[in-house]
């Protein structure tokens, strides 16, 4: 009888243990996915369309990921200038940045910004998200970053303290440009004296007479308060600039394929939102600049176009052959195919 009691107790213990462990397995939740905070730095203000567009991308990410993935913004060069932030991407200390200076990764990117290539934003969107741009991305990846999307810098116009109506008016004119061969070669072709410098130094350079003028889209002219140190907007619309949204390659590899796909979707959503917003608000910025006292000057665009074509024969382009011809013909083909 005693032996039976012992066996019964042992059986009960086994059943209890089985129940407890089974219950524990049932109640334990799978490990919670880690929250991803993407740091994004750029050189403009928090009200600039770059950040407005990426705020739309942020909303998209948060909605689709259930709040697991978000973006934290660092505007106004809080993390350093454009060159510094691009170096941080390659070093893996910054996730994302937006800049027009893709040529710092590969000089051939400047060919996308050469003068008088685009007539409308539909052409531009088709070039931005094309197999040609994917090919260009391969060279960026080798340098430790990757393009995950593109935005608009916009159609650039020259500002000055005197009206500029024809290319001859630019002879000897000291003009600030970004560190982009496209702008530098364009203004050499137009007879000006291009002076590359960061946007953050531009206001003081104009104020102190280091340069006579500059060229930028209307949004940048307004947000940079350049109306305080310049009088005329000369409507050259000589170059359309892309802004490239870069992601650190080493940090990209840490994302799951699903998160990579979601991030690219979100960035493209924000990108198209920003381009459409910029087009709709161009006239608004023109009105606001006029209210600030700037005068808009009509120019002889055909004369500017003809003079600027010398940029395509520059040493910069020749040094990139045979790649330059392939890239430029690829751009022209997409533009011609876009109605």
Give the per-residue pLDDT at 71: 98
Give the per-residue pLDDT at 39: 98
**pLDDT reading at 113 higher than 80:** yes
How many other β-carbons are positioned within 10 Å of the β-carbon of residue 263? Answer: 26
SS3 content of the chain, % helix, strand, coil (to 5): 55, 15, 30
Give the per-residue pLDDT at 106: 94
Kindly state the average pLDDT of the residues 217-238.
97
Give the per-residue pLDDT at 257: 97
Q: Are 125 and 72 in contact (CB under 8 A)?
A: no
Mean pLDDT rounded to a whole number for the chain: 91
314 CB-side CA count, 13 A = 22
The better pLDDT of the pair 306, 15 is held by 306
Q: Outline where the chain has alpha helix (H).
A: 2-27, 49-64, 82-91, 121-128, 131-141, 181-189, 202-207, 218-223, 249-252, 257-291, 301-308, 315-319, 323-337
**pLDDT reading at 185 higher than 60:** yes
- Residue 301 token pair: 């665009």
Give the per-residue pLDDT at 230: 99
**pLDDT reading at 102 higher than 60:** yes
Which residue reads 């200038």 in tokens? 81
Give the per-residue pLDDT at 310: 93
pLDDT tens digits for range 252-262: 999 999 999 99
Q: Can you tell me the distance from the alpha carbon of 187 to that of 190, in angstroms, rounded to the nearest whole number?
A: 5
Q: Can you tell me the distance from the alpha carbon of 91 to that of 98, in angstroms, rounded to the nearest whole number?
A: 16
Q: Which residues of 134-151 are buried (b: 16+ CB within 10 A; e: fewer)?
A: eebbeebeeebbbbbbbb
Nearest to 289 by CA among 220, 237, 242, 203: 220
Give the per-residue pLDDT at 17: 46
Kindly state the average pLDDT of the residues 276-286.
94
pLDDT tens digits for range 68-101: 999 999 999 999 998 999 999 999 999 999 998 8
Give the per-residue pLDDT at 155: 94
The radius of gyration of the chain's CA atoms, rounded to the nearest angstrom, is 27
Residues in the chain: 339
pLDDT band at 339 (very low <50, low <70, confident <90, very high): confident
Distance in Å from the first CA to the final CA of the chain: 96
Longest dimension (CA), the chain: 117
pLDDT band at 7 (very low <50, low <70, confident <90, very high): very low
CATH number of 36-337: 3.40.190.170
**pLDDT reading at 129 higher than 50:** yes
Nearest to 240 by CA among 122, 94, 87: 122
Nearest to 160 by CA among 289, 283, 288, 297: 297
Q: Which residues of 23-44 are buried (b: 16+ CB within 10 A; e: fewer)?
A: eeeeeeeeeeeeebebbbbbbb
pLDDT tens digits for range 17-67: 443 444 444 455 556 678 999 999 999 999 999 999 999 999 999 999 999
The better pLDDT of the pair 119, 297 is held by 297
**pLDDT reading at 2 higher than 50:** no
Q: Can you tell me the distance from the alpha carbon of 117 to that of 231, in angstroms, rounded to the nearest whole number?
A: 28
**pLDDT reading at 6 higher than 50:** no
- Residue 253 token pair: 């590899």
Give the per-residue pLDDT at 4: 46
């Amino acid at each position: 009888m005693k032996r039976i009691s012992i066996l019964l107790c042992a059986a009960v213990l086994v059943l209890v243990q089985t129940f407890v462990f089974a219950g524990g397995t049932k109640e334990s939740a799978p490990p919670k996915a880690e929250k991803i905070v993407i740091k994004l730095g750029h050189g403009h203000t928090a009200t600039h369309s770059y950040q407005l567009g990426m705020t739309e991308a942020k909303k998209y990410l948060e909605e689709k990921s259930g709040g697991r993935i978000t973006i934290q913004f660092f505007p106004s060069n809080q993390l350093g200038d454009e060159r510094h932030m691009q170096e941080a991407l390659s070093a893996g200390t910054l996730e994302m940045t937006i800049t027009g200076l893709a040529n710092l990764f590969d000089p051939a990117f400047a060919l996308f910004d050469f003068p008088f290539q685009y007539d409308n934003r539909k052409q531009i969107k088709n070039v931005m998200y094309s197999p040609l741009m994917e090919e260009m991305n391969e060279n960026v990846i080798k340098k430790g970053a990757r393009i995950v999307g593109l935005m608009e810098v916009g159609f650039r116009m020259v500002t000055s303290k005197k009206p500029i109506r024809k290319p001859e008016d630019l002879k000897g004119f000291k003009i600030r440009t970004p560190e982009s061969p496209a702008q530098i070669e364009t203004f050499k072709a137009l007879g000006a004296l291009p002076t590359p410098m960061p946007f953050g130094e531009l206001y003081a350079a104009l104020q102190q007479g280091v340069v006579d003028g500059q060229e930028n889209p209307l949004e940048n002219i307004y947000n940079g308060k350049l109306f305080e140190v310049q009088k005329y907007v000369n409507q050259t619309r000589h170059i359309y600039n892309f802004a490239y949204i870069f992601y650190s390659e080493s940090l990209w590899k840490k994302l799951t394929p699903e998160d990579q796909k979601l991030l690219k979707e979100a960035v493209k959503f924000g990108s198209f939102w920003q381009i459409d917003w910029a087009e709709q608000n161009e006239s608004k910025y023109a009105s606001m600049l006029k209210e600030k006292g700037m005068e808009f000057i009509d120019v002889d665009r055909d004369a500017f176009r003809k003079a600027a074509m010398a940029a395509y024969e520059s040493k910069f382009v020749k040094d990139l052959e045979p790649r330059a011809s392939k890239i430029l013909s690829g751009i022209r083909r997409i533009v011609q195919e876009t109605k």
